[in-house]
Amino acid sequence: MEVKQVIVVRKDLNMRKGKLAAQVAHASTKVLLDRMANMYYVNDDILCNEKSLFLRRDDPWYEWLNGAFTKVVVYVEFEDAIHALANRCHFNSVPCAVITDAGRTEFHGEPTVTCIAIGPDWADKIDEITGDLPLL
């Protein structure tokens, strides 16, 4: 079964190419980091916080991380569409991460929702949510 991640970008923001690339990278990374569990190990008097990812071989994340890291970038026209996609992901138990840029280099200092990472998950589950969106 195919596994993929889809990044949905707001086209109405007209981000510079470098900014857009950074936002897509933030989204792809954040969804992974959100999945990682905090583990605390005590060794003598040392306490450390380590992020780990525990996966079963039949988990789509396992397939994705040990495969081609398939990513597809598509777009929507407005912020409301990003939030609607996040709601659909939560309803369908598909991992997602919405990215809000701090506005330091673009967007006139205003925090701005720029994109959402959807998945990784089984392609058919993601296609139910993003299959009608155009490629960027």
DSSP-derived secondary structure letter, 134: P
- 115, containing H or E segment: strand 112-122
The pTM for the full model equals 0.89
Answer yes or no: is pLDDT of 92 > 80.
yes
Please give the biggest Cα pair distance in the chain. Answer: 55
User: If DSSP codes are grouped into helix, strand and coil, which group holds residue 84?
Assistant: helix
Is-contact 101 15, C-beta < 8 A?
no
What are the C-alpha distances in Å from 34 to residues 30, 51, 77? 6, 10, 26
Average pLDDT over residues 87-111: 96
- Paired with 101 in beta bridges are 112
Q: What pLDDT was estimated at residue 48?
A: 63
Task: For the chain, give the percent of residues with pLDDT over 90.
Answer: 73
List, in order of start, the domains of the chain with CATH numbers.
3-130 (3.40.1490.10)
The 10 Å Cβ neighbour count of residue 102 is: 11
